[in-house]
Amino acid sequence: MSSTKAEEVVTVDVSQAKSLIESGYQYLDVRTPEEFGRGHCVASNIVNIPYMFNTPQGRVKNQDFLNQVSYLLNPADDILVGCQSGARSLNATTELVAAGFKKVRNVGGGYSAWVNHNFPINKEQQSTN
């Protein structure tokens, strides 16, 4: 395994991501459950596994992230990784590539870009705060 992991991460723009989702890619949303519940992209194969959690001390990394992803997704699957703006998903994608996931791609711009393009979204719950 080479140490130049960042070079192995492929980032796609949100329009490419939409096409890939429609062609059957898994969509891994790495935002917090609260963010996910407020709205996420429409995808037939979508899972929410947070890369970080909100705590009173700020955001902390989900120590079980790789185990949780490995439990639900296969390293050979075609997977898109998205977050709110593209930063957490880039880190998550880098980690997944290093762990042997061969076909993961980062969604540049994340959910914000998805919304800005007026692509379809699901909102599962209304925010109460």
Q: What is the CATH number of the domain that holds 35?
A: 3.40.250.10
Half-sphere exposure of 127 (CA within 13 A, CB side): 7
Would residue 31 count as lying in a domain? yes
Q: What is the pLDDT of residue 125?
A: 55
- Residue 127 in any domain: the answer is no
Strand partners, 28: 47, 81
Q: Which residues contact 75 (CB under 8 A, 6 or more apart)?
A: 99, 100, 101, 102
Residue 128 lies in a domain: no
Give catalytic status of residue 83 as yes or no. Answer: yes
Task: Write down the pLDDT at residue 109.
Answer: 97
Per-residue pLDDT tens over the stretch 35-60: 999 999 999 999 999 999 999 999 99
Query: Among residues 83, 90, 97, 113, which one is catalytic?
Result: 83
Q: Does some domain include residue 40?
A: yes
pLDDT in tens, 64-109: 999 999 999 999 999 999 999 999 999 999 999 999 999 999 999 9
Instruction: Please give the model's pTM, rounded to 2 decimal places.
Output: 0.89
Burial class (CB in 10 A: 0-12, 13-18, 19+), 110: buried
Residue 129 lies in a domain: no
* Assigned domain for 113 exists: yes
Range of the structural domain that residue 50 is part of: 5-122
